[in-house]
Amino acid sequence: MTDGASGGERAAGAVFALCAFGIWGAFPVFFKAVDHVPAFEVLAHRIVWSAVVLAIVQVAVGSRRVLAAMLADRRLLATLALSATLLSANWAIFIWAIANDRVLESSLGYFINPLVNVLLGVAILRERLRSAQWLAVALAAVGVAYQVVALGVVPWVGLALAFSFGTYGLIRKVARVDALPGLLAETVIVTPFALAYLVVLGMDGSGALGRIGLATDGLLIVAGVVTTVPLGLFVAAARRLALSTLGLLQYIVPTGHFALAVFAYGEPFTTAHGVTFGCIWAALAIFTADTLRHRRAD
């Protein structure tokens, strides 16, 4: 957002952001509806139909040359191939987690994602942290460690989601390509593999499409729209709102997952979970307050 953005533009940006984060926050509802389909098959459909929707959008806005230029740049293509792999892994883990009643752990991953971004900035980009930021990271680490000790289980789903998406974001920052064209390039790269997998399933009669029912068929196809619409809304919001505002609103997503896990799906929320989430929420409060304070000072 530019400093000269009007009040109307900021209001529109807030609506776009709320819609985007609201849809992402409700993602478990959609993927629960297709949890009778194997996770990798759902992933393949999500990739293929996302590529179709994004291709239509790119043709409509007349930016086909942008995609061609990206795919012709070998260095950029290699970077996008890596980011596509990470994004596909993130999607696969998330879909599997929802199907296997691990929504609470997925929310944990997206709560700690901002702090993982900070760690990656220190480790890869040699960024320096302020004392409050170090405190936030340490609190989150204590929360995760407590759950490991108390429950005897590493929350690998949450950690895998946080680090895969954090690394994906880091790579996309280095690649410096716009959100929608970049996502289209990524889906184009992995679509041949996803499509080949679906063809094999179709040939041996084990694929869900056309076999289970029209409702399942519709949901699998709509996965492309469900994936691309909130991203488009987010891009529109990012052009109108300050990054600090977006940073605060992004917590709608894991909050939605958390609420669905505990209140809708009845996943167990133990004392250990309470300590872990309490530490992470405190860490996020410290991190957010410190970020806002320094941005105002700037």
Q: Quick one: which of 291, 275, 284 has its CA closest to 142?
A: 275
CA distance 233 to 179: 11
What's the average model confidence in pLDDT over 217-236?
A: 91
pLDDT greater than 60 at residue 159: yes
DSSP for the chain, written as a single string: --TT--HHHHHHHHHHHHHHHHHHHTHHHHHHTTTTS-HHHHHHHHHHHHHHHHHHHHHHTT-HHHHHHHHH-HHHHHHHHHHHHHHHHHHHHHHHHHHTT-HHHHHHHHHHHHHHHHHHHHHHH-----HHHHHHHHHHHHHHHHHHHHHS---HHHHHHHHHHHHHHHHHHHHT--HHHHHHHHHHHHHHHHHHHHHHHHHTT--STTTS-HHHHHHHHHHHHHHHHHHHHHHHHHTTS-HHHHHHHTTHHHHHHHHIIIIIS-----HHHHHHHHHHHHHHHHHHHHHHHHHHH-
* Per-residue model confidence (pLDDT) at position 63: 65
CA distance 250 to 262: 20
What pTM value is reported for the model? 0.89
CB atoms within 10 A of CB 78: 10
pLDDT greater than 70 at residue 38: yes
* Per-residue model confidence (pLDDT) at position 2: 45
CA distance 73 to 68: 9
**pLDDT tens per residue, range 238-285:** 777 776 677 778 889 999 999 999 999 999 999 989 999 999 999 999
- For the chain, the domains span 7-297
Read off the pLDDT band of 88 (50, 70, 90). Answer: very high
Read off the pLDDT band of 32 (50, 70, 90). Answer: very high
What's the average model confidence in pLDDT over 75-91?
A: 93
* Per-residue model confidence (pLDDT) at position 176: 74
Tokens of 288: 């957010």
